[in-house]
Amino acid sequence: MPSFKSLARLGLPLALLVGVSACATPFKADVSRFAVPLPAPQGQTFAVVAEDPKLAGGLEFALYADMVAAEMQQLGYNRASSPESANMLVRFDYGVDNGRERVRTDPGVGGGFADPFWGPWGRFGGFGYGRGWGYGFNDPFLGGPNVRSYTVYTSGIDVKIDRTADGQRLFEGKAEAVSRTNRLPNLVPNLVDAIFTDFPGSSGETLRITIRDDGENTVRPTR
């Protein structure tokens, strides 16, 4: 579900936001960022462009690009009228995989369940999700009545910032989440919130960021 902060940026009525907040559950994402010292905001301009040319010009991409732009503007940078006139290009990509079945047994049944749900960073490689993962289990009672299965999806966004004058890469970051929905309009706002939380962060660090509807996001090292 989109976070309160992201929905507010889109101008939704307060009453609707309160209703969304009441039913929201925390959204957790793994975020990895690499950066050189970004220029202090002094009138620099930026433009958000699609990393994947197939997304350029789409209405869905424009919606998410506005969210990224709002974050950049909060940092103090100005949105350019066109990529050609921008001092920085923010290259943005997003996606979700086709889902995987997760099998779970009730507590206390069988030999246990092994679920590397939030393993070390490194499974996120662009947007060809689902290659070479191993969601394993060790439960001799899978045929019993207490076993259930459901589909989980891995979604992610990729943000890169380049200086247009010389093409130098200033920032690159990825945010990834596992959830039971594949609806990008629900997922991308939270992923954008996550990647810009405590931006730009410490270069080379991977964090678990919990998105909260009160705007007080929680940042912890990954386990």
- Please determine, for residue 213, whether its predicted confidence score (pLDDT) is greater than 90: no
**146 — pLDDT class (breaks 50, 70, 90):** confident
Q: What is the pLDDT of residues 121-138, one digit of tens each?
A: 344 444 444 333 333 334
Average pLDDT estimate for 197-201: 92
Domain ranges for the chain, please list them. Answer: 4-11+25-113+150-221
Helix orientation angle between 184-195 and 59-74, rounded to the nearest 10 degrees: 20
- Please determine, for residue 21, whether its predicted confidence score (pLDDT) is greater than 70: no
- Please determine, for residue 93, whether its predicted confidence score (pLDDT) is greater than 60: yes
Residue carrying the six token digits 């779970």: 104
- Please determine, for residue 186, whether its predicted confidence score (pLDDT) is greater than 80: yes
- Per CATH, the number for 4-11+25-113+150-221 is 3.30.160
